[in-house]
Amino acid sequence: MANNNYKSTRFQPNLLALAVTTVLCGMVTPLQAQENKAATGPAATENKEQAALEVIQVTARRTAENLQTVPVAVTSIGAEDLKQKGIENITSIQQQSPNTTLQVSRGTNSTLTAYIRGIGQQDPLWGFEPGVGIYLDDVYMARPQGAAMDIYDVERIEVLRGPQGTLYGRNTIGGAVKYVTKALTGDNEFAVRGTVGSYGQKDLKLSGQTAITDKLFIGAAGATYNRDGFGTYLNTGDENYNKDIRTGRVSLQYQALDNLRFSFAADKTQDDSNSKGGHRLTNSLLTGEAPLDNVYDSKTSMPVDNSVETSGQSLTMAWDINANWTLKAITAKREGVTDTNIDFDSTIRPSLDVPAFYEDEQTSNELQLLFNNDKFKFASGLYSFTGDACGAFGTVLVAGLGVTIENGGCVSTDSIAAYAQGTYQVNDQWSFTLGGRYTKDDKDAAVYRYVYLGYKLPRDTANKIGVQSDFTGDESFNHFSPRVGFEYQANDNMMMYGSYTDGFKSGGFDMRGNQSVNPNAGDPYQPETVDTFELGVKSELWDRRLRLNAALFTSAYDDMQVTVQRAVNNTVASQVLNAASADINGLELEAVAVASDALQFNLVLGYTDAKFNEVMFYDAVTKTTTDVSGLWSFANTPELTGTLGTKYTTALLGGELVFNANLYHRSETQIFELPSVLDFGGYTLFNAGATWYDASGNWDVSLQGRNLGNKETRIAGYNFPLLAGEQTITAYYGDPRTVSLTVGYHF
C-alpha cells in the first residue's frame, strides 16, 4: 500500500489557482454558449428551467428557509445527493463542507471528533464537552460516543459554520452539524436497500411509513451494517477495523387539530464492532517488534470485545397559534453505555492496556416561540439541560510496574438558557438582525485516581495501594452571547451579509486530574470564548444556473481549552490548559454550476489561518510555566480543504444514469497541538460512482468507489514517547479503497 507522508502530492497555490480557473472556465463556457444560442418560445423556457439549480431548504434559523436567504455559512446535502455521492457515514460530510473536520476518534469505531474553522474538542472523555454541536433533528447530543452515525432514512444533513450560540446554545462555539430525518407525510411508503462491497460488506436498510388514521401517522426505519476488518490482530486472528452495527428508529405524528400536532421519535443503535487496534510507528522497546507492513493490522494483549449502545426519545409539540405565531415544545432524553478495550501500545504484552467504560444520560427541554411576517422574523426560547456522565478506565502497567492506575468519576451538569433573535426588514433591500443568549451552567464533579496491584478491570473490586487523586468540586459558569448582523439584498439573485457573533463553551473539571504530579489538578478550568466577524455573499447567476456562495471570517479565540497529556515518572500528567489565546482567519467558497440539463460542476474550498498568540503551559516535570505559543499549532485544522466535483446525467435502458466524481484535498494536518511523528502530510482522495434509476422511479442501482487511489490517511493516534518502559506512538487511519454495489426499491 502506498504511504502518503510529507512527500505526498501537495495542493500548491498554483494548482489551486489552476483548479479554480479550470472549473470556473468550464462553468462559463457552456453557459455563455447557451446564452448566445438563446431562443424565444416555450422550448427555450423549458430548457432553462431544466438547467436551473434546485432550491435548497435549511433550518439554520430554527425555521425552514431558502439556503440563499440565510445569512449564515451553511452547507446542506439532501438524501438523493448523499446517495449519488456514496456518502454512507456522517464523517464523509467533511468532504462536502469547507474548513470542516469530521472523523472517527482515536481507538474507537463510532466516536466523533468534530472541528469547524479550527474549533472543536480532541478528547472524547466524559466531562469534556465538544466544540461543535451535533443535533439529531432538534435534539442536542451531549456526548460524542455513537455520534459518527451511519446515514439512513435521512432528509438532509446541514453543517452550520461559525458560532451558533444564540439559537443553538450548548457547545456550538465552532458550529453545528444537524442530522435531519425524513418527515412523516401520511403517504404509504416503503423502501429497502441492500449493499454488498469490499471486505465482505453486507448492509441492509429498511424504512416505511403509513397513516393509521387521517390524523395519526407512523414510520419506522432500521439498518444493519456488517463488514470484515480492513486488517487483523495478527497474534489472535481477530478482525481489526471491522463493522457490526444495528440501528433503528420509530416515529409517530398526531395531528390533533389543524394547527396543533405532536411528534414522537425513538432511536437505538448497538455497535458491537471489535475494538480498534493502532499501528505502531516505532519499534517496541519491550518486545523488539518492528512496525507492521499493513497499517490496518495490529497486535493486542487484550480481548477485542467492544460495545457502544446509544438510544434516545423525543416528544415535540407544535402549535400554530395564528398565521404569524408558532409555539413549539421539545422534550428529549438520551443515554449511552460504552464498554471497550484500548491497547495503547498495540503489542502482545500488557504494558499499556486501557480497559474502559462510559455511561451518560441527558434530559433536555426547550420551549420556542416563533414569529414570522413580511417585516419581522423572530425566534425565542427557554432551554434546560440536565446531564450525568460517568466512567472509569484503567491504565495497566503490568509489564513495567505490575500495577493498574484507575481513573474514574462522574460529572453532573445542570444548565438553563434563554435566547431571542429577530430580523427586521427595513425595506426591500436592507434587514438587520439582533439576538442574544444567556446561559448558566452548574457542574459537580467527583474524580478519583487510584493505584492497584496487578491487572484490574474497571468494574472489578480490589484493594488500592495508592492514591494519586481523590477530589470533588462544584462550579457555576454563566455567559451572555450576542449576535448582530445586517443583510443587503442587492437584487433577486444576490444577498450580502455581515455579522458579529460571540461563542461560548462551558468550563469544567479534568476527569484525568493527577494531583500527585499537579497539585492544582482538582481546580476547575474556565469557559472559552470566541468572537467572530463574518462577511458573506450568496448569489445565483446566469438564470439560476450558477450558485456562488462565499464567506470571509476572522475570530479571536480566548481562554482556549486544550487537553494535554504527558508521561511523567511512569504515570500520565493530564492538564486542561485555559491559558491559550489565538486568532483564526479564513475564507470559504461553495460553487455549483449547471452547464446543461445533463452536466453539473461543484467546487468547495476552505482556507484557515489559525495561530496561537499565547499558551501558558505548566510543565509538571520542571514545575515551571512558560509561553509555548511559538511551538504549538492548531490540531485537526488543515490550512486548505477543497473538493472539485462533477455530475453527469444521461438516458440508459429506458431509465436515467447519474455519474458522480470528485477529488477531495486536505493539506497537511497536525494531530496534536505540539508537533509529533504522528503528523501527516496532505493527501488527495478520488471518489466516483454511478446510480441508475428505472423509468418507474421505483428501482435504483448504485455502484460506488471511495478512495479509489487507495491513499493512506492518518487521522488520529496516541503519542507517549516513553511510558512504563515502552515507546507508545500508535496511529489510526481512514478507510482504504472500497467499492460497493447497492440495489434499492421503494414505492
Here the CATH number for the domain that contains residue 742 is: 2.40.170.20
Residue-number span of the structural domain to which 701 is assigned: 13-746
- CA nearest 530: which of 557, 506, 552, 554? 557
Structure-model confidence comparison of residues 2 and 432, the more confident one: 432
Which residue, 745, 734, 742, is CA-closest to 689?
742
Residues 488-512 pLDDT 10s: 999 999 999 999 999 999 999 999 8
Q: What is the mean pLDDT of residues 395-417?
A: 87
Mean pLDDT over all residues of the chain? 89
Look at residue 2 and tell me if it is in a domain.
Answer: no
Vertex 501: Cα angle to 500 and 503 (nearest 5): 155
Mean pLDDT of 394-414: 86
Asked if 680 and 714 count as a contact pair (C-beta separation under 8 A), the reply is: yes
pLDDT attached to residue 402 = 83
Q: Is residue 3 part of a domain?
A: no
In a domain, 1, yes or no: no
pLDDT tens per residue across span 626-655: 898 889 999 999 999 999 999 999 999 999
pLDDT of residue 31: 35
Burial 116-135, CB ≥16 within 10 A → b, else e: bbbbbbbbbbbbbbbbbbbb
pLDDT in tens, 229-255: 999 999 999 999 999 999 999 999 999
- pLDDT of amino acid 11: 34
Place of cell 523488539: 288
pLDDT attached to residue 23: 36
Residue 12 has pLDDT above 50, yes or no: no
The three three-digit cell numbers of residue 88, written as one number = 454512507
* pLDDT confidence band for 13 (50 / 70 / 90): very low
pLDDT at 68 over 70: yes
Asked if the model's pLDDT at residue 536 lies above 60, the reply is: yes
Q: Which of 527, 534, 589 has its CA nearest to residue 557? A: 527
Least confident of 49-63, 580-594, 687-701: 49-63
Residues belonging to the chain = 747
Nearest by Cα to 134 from 108, 110, 153, 109: 110
Question: Residue 656: is its pLDDT beyond 90?
Answer: yes
* pLDDT at residue 32 tops 60: no
Per-residue pLDDT at 134: 94
The answer as to whether 8 is a domain residue is: no
pLDDT of residue 37: 35
Q: Is residue 170 part of a domain?
A: yes
Pairing of strands 175-181, 132-136: parallel
Q: Does 4 map to a domain?
A: no
Beta partners for 336? 310, 360
Assigned domain for 6 exists? no
Question: Model confidence over 506-529: pLDDT tens digits?
Answer: 999 999 888 888 888 899 999 999
**Residue 19 clears pLDDT 60, i.e. is over it:** no
Bridge partners of 57?
Answer: 66
Backbone angles phi, psi at 189, to 5 degrees: -135, 145
CA atoms within 13 A on the CB side of 690: 8
Rg (CA), the chain: 26
> Is 238 a member of any domain?
yes
**In this predicted structure, what is the pLDDT of residue 396?**
86
Q: Would you state the pLDDT for residue 747? A: 93
* Distance (Å, whole) CA 639 – CA 321: 48
Distance of CA 398 to the CA centre of its chain: 36
- Closest Cα partner for 132 from 94, 102, 153, 89? 102
Predicted local confidence at residue 24, as pLDDT? 37
pTM (two decimals): 0.90
- What span, in angstroms and rounded, lies between the C-alpha atoms of 567 and 352? 12
Hey, how many other C-beta atoms are within 10 angstroms of the C-beta on 683? 25
Tally of domains within the chain: 1
Interval 138-165: pLDDT, tens: 899 999 888 899 999 999 999 999 999 8
Distance CA 35, CA 41 (A): 14
